[in-house]
Amino acid sequence: MSWTKICDASDVSANSVKKVDVNGISVLVVNYGSGFRVIPPLCPHMEEPLEESGIVARCTLTCSKHLWCWNMQTLEMQGETEKPLKVYESKEENGAILANIENELTYEFEDEGGADDDDFFK
Amino acid sequence: MAAKNHRQWTAEPNLQMNEWVDSRIYSDPQIFEEELQKIFKKTWIPVCHESELPKPYDFRTTSIAREPIVVCRGPDNEVRAFLNVCPHRGMIIERRPSGSFLEGQPSGNPKRMTCMFHAWQYDMKGNCVYISREKEGFQDRLCKEDVGLRRLRCEVKFGGFVWVNLDDNPKVSLEDWAAPAFQCLRKSLDAEPLEVFHYHKAVVNANYKLWHDTNCEFYHDFMHYHNRVTGFNDAYFARKNEAFDHGHVVVGTFQVNYEKYEGFESRAALSFPHLPPNQWYMIDLFPGMNFNLRGSALRCDIVTPLGPDKVMIEYRGLGLKRDTPEERMTRINHHNSIWGPFGRNLHEDLIGVQGQGTTMLPGSEPRRILHGRHENQTIHDENGMRHYYEEWGRWMNRRPSKPDQPFSEAIAVAAE
């Protein structure tokens, strides 16, 4: 267990997100008003960069592309969301956001399937 | 004979049937529509060069015979082509001329082609990977697996050009169709990766075949003042036009004395691989593509017919991918000094076909356009055009000199 400083709490205003590089690993800091979360930067649905698509309101992070959303306090999936959000262990200490980022958290995305052989056009 | 009255002007020339064509093949709207259906939707068309989509998720959009096409490079590095049409409501999917699907778009996700209309999404293999509110709207009656992009035959070949055929079952493979014509340059073009360093396009008020005609004969060097005064010599006049199956023509090489061109230098140091210095080959492919290698620089013309009297010509200049910056600058200079928009003769070629187009507007009175020069199949012979129009007649089942009559193999053979 090692706590790494991600940024100052004051760097991320309420109801917004900020992408930070920590020793080569990109993470997203989410300020949901009553607390912070540190998560991987991509939406688990279709790799959308949440830095662009993420909307934070009423304690909920919503990816605006396909409206997958999670309660930031309980991490409960909401609406049509089909995959849970992964989170880094984090805490706020003396005005700084710290997280435990020993291993990068990633999602499995579906490979592109489909026939690609010579018979395709026959 | 002096000037002509109307009857004399419209009379058939005293030449063989395949030594002239009726000007309606350059102006008639119905013939033009037939060409799109019978030729352009059935044959191999180079749409771009693979160096124009160097990285996974790079794309270019283009069209063949009014069908919008998107060409993209998948994460597996394969280049694929699709109709740029959403199977839902027929919206065009990608509107940019080129770019990367990794770039975020207001309506699009990274790594996917997204139809901005209703957010349906497709991967680089054309699979539909997302339908918005799928279950709510279609229940189980239609799902992602039931829809997908229309994939097109696409091959990267002959120096890295990307060839597309709208016909799933073409009469001949790309290899069989063009390999014999490319034989003279294939080793040089395939020796190492090439790269596009120049692109411009011209939209000309002329039929696309007029442009190809100009590429098929060098008799019009009389229009190119500089070529005429410094280019004509015995070796020049000895160059041969060689006909290949499927309507292609290759103009054989000779060694160009660039030192004799005013303000030019030898291109020997940067000649393409496996070629003696300062060679000049030209490959004219049916129905309107041209590959022109002048020692150190390759030019490629691709025509997109826009109407009976309008054509878009895309010009690309290519060098070796491994060029140093200095080599590249020299190569660009070699290319542009002849073929750039302000080069030695390209703009003059455009004036030529634009002038022809001016006299052959749709509805103009039909005239005979002569293709009857015979000079032992050398550079001022018009055998390349005769060969082209024989193939054109076959695809169209129309006789180029009498387009209301069906093509006859017997007449074509007898005439030649």
- What's the total number of domains in chain B? 2
Helices assigned H by DSSP within chain A:
50-53
Cβ(B48)–Cβ(B81) below 8 Å: no
Cβ(B71)–Cβ(B97) below 8 Å: no
Mark whether B337 and B250 lie in a shared domain: yes
Mark whether B380 and B327 lie in a shared domain: yes
Q: Does B290 contact A at CB distance below 8 Å?
A: no
3-state secondary structure of A96: strand
Domain contains B73: yes
Integer-rounded Cα Rg, in Å, for chain B is 23
Question: Whose CA is closest to B207, among B96, B60, B78, B360?
Answer: B360
Q: What does pTM read for this prediction?
A: 0.91
Give the span between the Cα atoms of B183 and B245, in whole angstroms: 13
Contacts of A94 (CB under 8 A, 6+ apart): none
CA distance A105 to chain B (A): 19
Cβ(B314)–Cβ(B217) below 8 Å: no
CA distance B119 to chain A (A): 9
Mark whether B125 and B177 lie in a shared domain: no
Give the end of a domain, one of B88, B120, B155: B155
Q: For residue B240, what pLDDT is reported?
A: 93
Question: Whose CA is closest to B402, among B17, B10, B3?
Answer: B17
The DSSP-derived string for B309-353 is TEEEEEEEEEEETT--HHHHHHHHHHHHHHHSTTSSSHHHHHHHH
Name the pairing type of β-strands B45-49 and B161-165: antiparallel
Question: Whose CA is closest to A18, among B354, B76, A26?
Answer: A26
The shortest CB-CB distance from A112 to any of B75, B109, B168 is to B75
Mark whether B207 and B350 lie in a shared domain: yes
CA distance B35 to chain A (A): 24
- The backbone torsions φ and ψ at residue B387, rounded to the nearest 5 degrees and listed phi first, read -65, -45
Give the span between the Cα atoms of B27 and B47, in whole angstroms: 25
Domain contains B48: no
Give the end of a domain, one of B155, B183, B208: B155
B109 vs A122: CB contact, 8 Å cut-off?
no
Element (H, E) at B80: strand B79-83
Cβ(B286)–Cβ(B388) below 8 Å: yes
Q: For residue A68, what pLDDT is reported?
A: 95
**Stretch B6-28: mean pLDDT:** 94
**Stretch B304-309: mean pLDDT:** 98
Mark whether B248 and B343 lie in a shared domain: yes
B125 vs A65: CB contact, 8 Å cut-off?
no
Q: Does A74 contact B at CB distance below 8 Å?
A: no
Q: Does B355 contact A at CB distance below 8 Å?
A: no
For residue B111, list chain A residues with Cβ-Cβ distance below 8 A: 46-47
Q: Does B111 contact A at CB distance below 8 Å?
A: yes
* % of residues, chain B, pLDDT over 90: 81
Residue with tokens 């019978």: B38
**Stretch A94-117: mean pLDDT:** 85
Quote the mean pLDDT of chain A: 92
Mark whether B321 and B223 lie in a shared domain: yes
Mark whether B219 and B146 lie in a shared domain: no
| Distance of alpha carbon B412 from the chain centroid | 25
Give the end of a domain, one of B97, B129, B155: B155
Just give the CATH number of A4-98. Answer: 2.102.10.10
Q: Does B124 contact A at CB distance below 8 Å?
A: yes
More confident residue, A78 or B342: A78
Give the span between the Cα atoms of B20 and B10, in whole angstroms: 13
Mark whether B344 and B251 lie in a shared domain: yes
The shortest CB-CB distance from A116 to any of B119, B125, B130 is to B125
For residue A122, list chain B residues with Cβ-Cβ distance below 8 A: 168-169
Q: What is the sign of the dihedral through the CA atoms of B94, B100, B101 and B103?
A: negative
- The backbone torsions φ and ψ at residue B255, rounded to the nearest 5 degrees and listed phi first, read -85, 120
Question: Whose CA is closest to B216, among B85, B353, B53?
Answer: B353
Q: For residue B86, what pLDDT is reported?
A: 98
- How do residues B272-298 score in pLDDT, each as one tens digit? 999 988 888 999 999 999 999 999 999
For residue B127, list chain A residues with Cβ-Cβ distance below 8 A: 112-114
CA distance A92 to chain B (A): 32
The shortest CB-CB distance from A114 to any of B111, B127, B130 is to B127
Q: Does A108 contact B at CB distance below 8 Å?
A: no
Nearest-by-CA chain B residue for A115: B125
The DSSP-derived string for B135-155 is HHHHTTTS-GGG-B--EEEEE
- How do residues A13-40 score in pLDDT, each as one tens digit? 999 999 999 999 999 999 999 999 999 9
- The β-bridge partners of A30 are A17, A37
For residue B132, list chain A residues with Cβ-Cβ distance below 8 A: 66
CATH number at residue B65: 2.102.10.10
Worst-scoring range by mean pLDDT, B47-56, B140-149, B261-270, B340-349? B261-270
Domain contains B12: no
- How do residues B142-162 score in pLDDT, each as one tens digit? 999 999 999 999 999 999 999
- The β-bridge partners of A51 are none
Mark whether B261 and B328 lie in a shared domain: yes
**Stretch B71-88: mean pLDDT:** 97
Q: For residue B224, what pLDDT is reported?
A: 87
Q: For residue B19, what pLDDT is reported?
A: 96
Question: Which tokens hold the place of B94?
Answer: 């990608």
Give the span between the Cα atoms of B268 and B15, in whole angstroms: 43
**Stretch B344-364: mean pLDDT:** 93
Mark whether B150 and B178 lie in a shared domain: no
A121 vs B153: CB contact, 8 Å cut-off?
yes
For residue A120, list chain B residues with Cβ-Cβ distance below 8 A: 151
For residue A49, list chain B residues with Cβ-Cβ distance below 8 A: 104, 110
Question: Which tokens hold the place of B327?
Answer: 């080599």
Domain contains B19: no
Give the span between the Cα atoms of A90 and A43, in whole angstroms: 19
DSSP 8-state symbol, B133: T
**Stretch B11-35: mean pLDDT:** 96
Domain contains B384: yes
Give the span between the Cα atoms of B277 and B258, in whole angstroms: 11
Given a cut of 60, is residue B405 above it in pLDDT?
yes
Q: For residue B277, what pLDDT is reported?
A: 87
Q: For residue B261, what pLDDT is reported?
A: 74
Mark whether B65 and B177 lie in a shared domain: no
Residue with tokens 């442009």: B211
CA distance A49 to chain B (A): 8
Neighbour count for residue B150 (Cβ, 10 Å): 15
CATH number at residue B261: 3.90.380.10
- The β-bridge partners of A78 are A69
Q: Give ipTM to 2 decimals.
A: 0.76
Q: For residue B410, what pLDDT is reported?
A: 66
**Stretch B251-268: mean pLDDT:** 80
Given a cut of 90, is residue B45 above it in pLDDT?
yes
Domain contains B168: no
- How do residues B170-187 score in pLDDT, each as one tens digit? 999 999 999 999 999 999
* % of residues, chain B, pLDDT over 70: 98
CA distance B270 to chain A (A): 38
- Residue B290 lies in domain: 173-415
